[in-house]
Structures are given as C-alpha cells and as structure tokens.
Homo-oligomer: A and B are copies of this chain.
C-alpha cells in the first residue's frame, strides 16, 4: 500500500491540510513545520497520488498525442525526434504524455480523441499531420478543448500553432535546382489533403514561376511520405518519354525511395539526376550521395508545441500564438552538379 498524505500527517501529528499546503509551498505554513513535513514526506517516500489530485483539481496534467500510424510499417524517423521533444519538454513541466496510435483514415481515430476528451483523460492535445480541413480542429474547437498544431488547416478557427514555412523552403530549393542548370524539375507529392503538402507544393509551383519555368502536371506524381511511395513515384517519373533531370520530394523518406529507383536504373544521383527531400532526418546525411534537404528543427518544434499548449492551459484567455519557422536548405551532393 502506498503512503498517503494521511500517513505523513499522522506521523507528524498534523492535519492533512497542513501537510498538503506545506508540500505545495503555500506561504501560510511556518518554516519549521514546512521543513519537518518535507523531510518526513521524503523519508517515508510519500508521492502524492496523482489520480486523486487530478480528480480534485479537474486537471489531468497530461498531454495527449496520437501517432498517425497510417502505413502498416510505421517508420518515419520524424516521429522519433518529435516524440523525444514532446516527452522531454512535458517532463520538464511535470506533465505526462499520453500516447496512442491511430490510422487517420479509420473511424477509431475519432473514438480515441473523443474518449480522451469526454473522459477528461488529457488536458490538451498536440496535433500534427494536419489536413486542410481537419475534423480534429473543428471537433476540439467546438468542445472548447485546448490543442496546438504543427502546420495549420484552412478552418477559420483561431488556435495556437507552429508553422514551418514549407512554401518558402520549397521555392528556395527550386531556385537552387534551377541554378544548377535543371529545367525539367519533377515533384513527388503527398496526399493532397495534407497541409504540409499544400504548402510545399505551392512552394514548388512558386519556385517554377519565379524562375520562369512552366508548370507541367505530368511532372508531379503522388507518393505517400514513405520510402516505398517515393520509389514507385520515381519509377513513374523516370519512365516518362522525357524524364525529369531533378526531383524535389515532399519529404526525405520519399527522396530516399526515389534515390533507390534511380540507382536501380544505373543512374548516378547528383550527376544524372538530382534529388532533394524535406525534413533533415539523420538518415539523409548518410545516403549515397548525401541528400540535399530542407532541414527543420523537429526536436525544437516539438518542445515549442508543448510550451504553447502549457501556456494555453495556464492562461486560456490570451490570444492564440502562431510561431513561424523557416526550414534551412542543406545543399549536399545529391543536387550539387548541374545538367
């Protein structure tokens, strides 16, 4: 049986009130008492029962995050770093992180969110992989339930978010490719209803426009953010009668898949074909050749999201914040020779 506040109070011949307040740092407890209480609690190994406190305070001191395990093999290293950031930052503020997994396509995703909201299992949510119209945003807004997002939706709703300027990044990348002499620049996309896809694709188009190149829908093939998706999409591009000389990919995993397709055809990436990604995952440093990518500080972004959410929980009244971050173009060998 764990030690309760009662045990501590009894041992000291104090009321549980005093013990509770001494431990919570209230000012109306004498220093002598406080010291005794803290020391005894420590000695007895007392740790407040979080659940009881939660019930009393109507707060779970817990943040919810549901991993979008869309593919059977869920392997995007993005989420490693992301989770590490969420976990560390939450722990720092003595918050817990409740994690679950759901396929965004399936109904059980909705059930999960609703269960945590209605059962007051968490105080707020971290959302990412936003869709342009995302039911989660609408639902949580209606329920008046705190949340923060990475990337934004098109909904006319105010909420806290961190945004990575995928558009500017992609535009910069296209310029770089054009500078390297490329004229036929393809793009491997993600599902069109994803926010990150919309902005990165917009950047691709803007980049073409800015450099006077014409947009060719035939050079855009949809992937699914995985290696395999990138591999297959790249095959289709390389099968074209007039294939591209450069491929910009919506993320690093896609680019890595595309590199594989190129290799299989005996093409030398960085020479015969330029390939670039987006994310800056570690794996991209070690590919052959190393992958040019738009690097975003995933860990820091995760920390920022937690901070934003905690602020929101503390002060529900303050206006929502939007934090903007620009990705950094890391030019590596996969694009450093022209055509």
Contacts and interface: CB of A to CB of B under 8 A. Distances in A.
Interface of A: 2-3, 45-52, 54-55, 60, 62, 67, 69, 73-77, 79-81, 83-84, 87-88, 90-91, 96-102, 108, 112, 114-115, 118-121, 227, 256-257, 260, 263, 281-283, 286, 288, 299
B75 A80 contact: yes
A87 B69 contact: yes
A75 B81 contact: yes
A80 B81 contact: no
Q: What copy number does this chain have within its complex?
A: 2
B282 A118 contact: no
Nearest to A231: B286
B112 A47 contact: no
A19 B71 CA distance: 40
Contacts of A118: 2-3, 45-47
Contacts of A119: 47-51
Contact of A84 (B55, B62, B74, B87): B74
Nearest to A80: B75
A101 B84 contact: yes
A50 B79 CA distance: 28
Contact of A99 (B55, B74, B98): B98
Contact of A47 (B48, B49, B102, B115): B115
